[in-house]
């Protein structure tokens, strides 16, 4: 513990790792473009520069706090300096703010407002560069890059992939994939973490909102929505509601009002996934083959494994993701002419994830040669569409999902947080469904924010080694341990994004620790108020196996190969 003086006020500090954190904890929102607590310190943007009592200026993100320090965060010199940095960044930046997809969420735009920059004194000497639209999920616009390196560090430090890097020097410096290859020709898995960390519009979501509005406008099309678990806890705060609280009932209402014919919960299909994946798992344990079983619901992880560890492809569960299962079942339901009444069915999947846009194009997630999910929109696009519709979201009365697929158990809801798939499967293995049983499953070891969690459970006398992973850099560690024989697991759950889908690449960005915790707690809370908390007790699932799925389980719910 120590004390420093910040702008004339004595401030205590304890274990903050840099002066910037002490300043922010003291209630001063010092701007930064390149600082993120979960990434390494880069010190490139210099916006967090402060001055000490000897007139020395330094970047507060890269300075350790020391007892007795005297700091000024807003001296005349610092203010001028900070404004100049932003002006220089703006001078080399495409400034089509009104039409930029990041407008309203752009940190650079915010800073320009905050510093009252109404004109830029310097000329842009950078040549205009073409956009990279090759990825199914993201658009890279080099003209909006400010060289903060956030995307570079997110891709290499969190995902262990290093798809993006710095090229050239001086005023020619650029961020790009190696040899300026298009993203689609790299190891990119479309996870969108680079986009989450990008403070400007240099990496943005490839949007599909217009396709959805067009389908809604077509009277011959039945537009069906499925809403992923993690979406419900990331929308409310955009409309002034409590951060992290589930707004599923309002989402159903707003989607109906926007013109969707039917609205469903992907948690219903997550229940289906649990039924299939647990069966597949027990079968493999009995035969002692293809272990560990790797979960397959995260498309970024599936692509990572197929690209980096193809020798383990057979270990992936053959289950389609809940998104894929839902759309296959939905399309099959409306193949019946009596039900479709001559209308085309258009399935819109609302996801926290950019990689889901890639998953729907994978030929192994088609049924009868047809694409099951027509369009994926992310949470960020959904929020924009709600604003576009002008509907007052915060005051909407809640509504329930439609039938016949309108209910997901609590087990399906917790899929959206790391460890959720495992916990849902352990609930399935439990004989009882009372609170004490559910609580003991919750304490088995799947919960918590750690990137790698390991524990052992016993099922019918057999000890099962479980590993729960989030973040692909952590997946790399686990895969190397498995490959070298250092670890033996029976099941490995992997979600590509740290903390799971709640922090997916399509969620509203700039989520701090409070938001991450609120989203996690929001999903566990939504689960705890559900009376059916086991996938196998969802009555809609039970009747589906006796009806539509008869003889079609493999065709609709599994992939033939990866």
Binding site for ligand HC1 (CB under 6 A): 228-230, 266-267, 270, 297-298, 321-323, 351-353, 356, 415-416, 495, 500-501, 504
Q: CA 3 to CA 14: how far, in whole Å?
A: 9
Binding mask 80-119 for ligand SF4 (x = CB under 6 A): ----------------------------------------
Site for ligand SF4 in 194-253 (CB under 6 A): 194
Nearer to ligand SF4, 154 or 557 (CB): 154
Please report how close the Cβ of residue 177 comes to ligand SF4 at its closest, in angstroms.
Answer: 7
Please report how close the Cβ of residue 339 comes to ligand HC1 at its closest, in angstroms.
Answer: 24
Query: Hey, which residues does 225 pair with through a beta bridge?
Result: 263, 348
Q: CA 475 to CA 278: how far, in whole Å?
A: 22
Alpha-carbon distances of 517 from 243, 487, 525, rounded to whole Å = 10, 30, 12
Using CB distances below 5 to 8 A depending on partner kind, what does residue 351 bind out of ligand HC1, ligand SF4, none?
A: ligand HC1
Nearer to ligand SF4, 86 or 183 (CB): 183
Hey, how many other C-beta atoms are within 10 angstroms of the C-beta on 156?
A: 18
Using CB distances below 5 to 8 A depending on partner kind, what does residue 189 bind out of ligand HC1, ligand SF4, none?
A: ligand SF4
DSSP-derived secondary structure letter, 320: P
Using CB distances below 5 to 8 A depending on partner kind, what does residue 101 bind out of ligand SF4, ligand HC1, none?
A: none
334, burial (CB in 10 Å: exposed 0-12, middle 13-18, buried 19+): middle
Nearer to ligand HC1, 18 or 422 (CB): 422
Site for ligand SF4 in 142-201 (CB under 6 A): 154-155, 159, 161, 163-164, 188-194
Q: Are 234 and 375 in contact (CB under 8 A)?
A: no
Q: Are 376 and 360 in contact (CB under 8 A)?
A: yes
Number of residues counted as binding ligand SF4 (CB under 6 A): 14
Q: What is the CA radius of gyration of the chain?
A: 25
Nearer to ligand HC1, 177 or 420 (CB): 420
Q: Are 234 and 500 in contact (CB under 8 A)?
A: no
Using CB distances below 5 to 8 A depending on partner kind, what does residue 193 bind out of ligand SF4, ligand HC1, none?
A: ligand SF4
Using CB distances below 5 to 8 A depending on partner kind, what does residue 164 bind out of ligand SF4, ligand HC1, none?
A: ligand SF4
From the list 65, 15, 374, 443, the residue with the least C-alpha distance to 223 is: 374
Nearer to ligand HC1, 71 or 328 (CB): 328
Hey, how many other C-beta atoms are within 10 angstroms of the C-beta on 231?
A: 30
Please report how close the Cβ of residue 230 comes to ligand SF4 at its closest, in angstroms.
Answer: 17
Q: Measure the CA angle with vertex 193, ends 189 and 194; round to 5°.
A: 95
b/e per residue 283-296 (b: at least 16 CB within 10 A) = ebbeeeebbbbbbb
Using CB distances below 5 to 8 A depending on partner kind, what does residue 36 bind out of ligand HC1, ligand SF4, none?
A: none
Q: CA 535 to CA 267: how far, in whole Å?
A: 9
Nearer to ligand SF4, 173 or 185 (CB): 185
Please report how close the Cβ of residue 414 comes to ligand HC1 at its closest, in angstroms.
Answer: 9
SS3 52: strand
Site for ligand SF4 in 122-141 (CB under 6 A): 138
Residues in contact with 542: Cβ distance below 8 Å, sequence separation at least 6, in sequence order: 536
Please report how close the Cβ of residue 352 comes to ligand HC1 at its closest, in angstroms.
Answer: 5
Site for ligand SF4 in 466-505 (CB under 6 A): none
Tell me which residue has its CB nearest to ligand HC1: 501
Residues near ligand SF4 (CB under 6 A): 138, 154-155, 159, 161, 163-164, 188-194
């Amino acid at each position: 513990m120590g004390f420093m003086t910040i702008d004339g006020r004595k401030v205590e500090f304890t274990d903050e790792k840099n002066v910037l954190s002490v300043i922010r904890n003291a209630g001063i929102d010092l701007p930064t473009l390149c600082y993120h607590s979960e990434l390494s310190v880069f010190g490139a943007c210099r916006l967090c520069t402060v001055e000490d009592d000897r007139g020395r200026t330094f970047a507060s993100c890269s300075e350790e706090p020391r007892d007795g320090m005297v700091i000024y965060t807003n001296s005349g010199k610092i203010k001028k300096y900070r404004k100049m940095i932003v002006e220089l960044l703006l001078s080399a930046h495409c400034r089509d703010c009104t039409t930029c997809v990041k407008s309203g969420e752009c940190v650079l735009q915010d800073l320009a407002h905050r510093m009252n920059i109404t004109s830029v004194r310097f000329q842009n000497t950078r040549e205009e560069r073409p956009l990279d639209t090759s990825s199914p999920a993201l658009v890279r616009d080099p003209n909006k890059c400010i060289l903060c390196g956030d995307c570079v560090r997110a891709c290499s430090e969190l995902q262990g992939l290093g798809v993006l890097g710095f090229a050239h020097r001086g005023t020619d410096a650029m961020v790009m994939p190696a040899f300026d290859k298009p993203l689609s020709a790299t190891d990119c898995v479309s996870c969108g973490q680079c986009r989450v960390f990008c403070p400007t519009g240099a990496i943005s979501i490839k949007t599909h909102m217009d396709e959805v509005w067009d389908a809604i406008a077509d009277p011959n099309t039945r537009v069906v929505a499925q809403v992923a678990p993690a979406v419900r806890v990331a929308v409310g705060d955009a409309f002034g509601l409590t951060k992290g609280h589930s707004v599923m009932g309002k989402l159903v209402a707003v989607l109906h009002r926007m013109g969707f014919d039917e609205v469903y919960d992907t948690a219903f299909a997550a229940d289906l996934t649990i039924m299939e994946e647990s069966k597949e798992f027990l079968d493999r344990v009995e035969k002692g083959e293809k272990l560990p079983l790797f979960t397959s619901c995260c498309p970024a992880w599936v692509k990572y494994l197929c690209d980096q560890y193809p020798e383990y492809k057979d270990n992936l569960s053959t289950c389609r993701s809940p998104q894929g299962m839902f759309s296959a079942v939905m399309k099959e339901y409306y193949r019946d002419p009596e039900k479709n009444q001559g209308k085309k069915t258009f399935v819109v999947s609302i996801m926290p994830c950019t990689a889901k846009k890639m998953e729907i194009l994978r030929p192994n997630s088609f049924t009868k040669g047809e694409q099951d999910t027509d369009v994926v929109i992310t949470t960020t696009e959904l929020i924009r569409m709600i604003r576009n519709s002008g509907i007052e979201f915060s005051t909407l009365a809640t509504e329930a999902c439609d039938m016949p697929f309108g209910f997901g158990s609590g087990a399906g809801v917790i899929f959206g947080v790391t460890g959720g798939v495992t916990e849902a499967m352990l609930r399935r293995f439990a004989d009882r469904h009372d609170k004490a049983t559910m609580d003991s499953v919750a304490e088995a070891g799947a919960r918590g924010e750690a990137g790698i969690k390991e524990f052992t459970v016993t099922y019918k006398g057999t000890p099962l080694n479980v590993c729960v992973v989030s973040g692909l850099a952590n997946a790399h560690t686990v895969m190397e341990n498995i490959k070298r024989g250092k670890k033996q697991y029976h099941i490995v759950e992997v979600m590509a994004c740290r903390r799971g889908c709640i922090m997916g690449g399509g969620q509203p960005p700039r989520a701090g620790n409070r938001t991450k915790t609120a989203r996690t707690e929001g999903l566990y809370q939504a689960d705890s108020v559900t009376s059916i908390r086991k996938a196998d007790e969802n009555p809609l699932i039970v009747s589906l196996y006796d009806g539509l799925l008869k003889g079609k389980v493999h065709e609709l719910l599994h992939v033939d190969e990866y």
